[in-house]
Amino acid sequence: MLPSMRKTYDAAFKARVTFEAAKGEKTIAHIANEFSVHPNQIRLWRNHLMEQLPELYSSRRPQQEKAREEQEAELYRQIDQLKMELLSGSINGAQVLFGISDKAWLSIRSTKSGQG
């Protein structure tokens, strides 16, 4: 038996189906038959729409997005700082970064310092 491929729907299609369900003019069963989508999927999309609608008109939304972007920028800054600390000569950092064992690292170090 072949594994069933999960159907994927583009955003425009989901919007059309969800809008029909939200209007309430047709039953979910009728919409499911019309668009060949399982009724439970339509209910999920409609419920998601109804949950998200209040945020669409919220004045806090831009503030939340700005705070998220600032937090993301700070996290990337911290990642860059940690990368630099790893690359700045830390033995353990170089070992982790390049996947070098302790024995190989000691061999590299002794060769560089002229001891071996």
| Range of the structural domain that residue 69 is part of | 60-116
**Do residues 35 and 66 both lie within one domain?**
no
Q: What average pLDDT does the chain have?
A: 82
Report residues of the chain scoring pLDDT below 50: 115-116
First to last CA, the chain: 62
pLDDT of res. 58: 76
Q: Which of 57, 74, 92 is the last residue of a domain?
A: 57
CA distance 91 to 87: 9
Is residue 21 classed as helix, strand or coil in its secondary structure? helix
pLDDT of res. 10: 94
CA distance 3 to 6: 9
**Do residues 35 and 69 both lie within one domain?**
no
CA 110 to chain centre: 44
CB 31 within 8 A of CB 42: yes
CA distance 32 to 104: 63
Q: Which residue has the tokens 């806090």?
A: 60
pLDDT of res. 85: 76
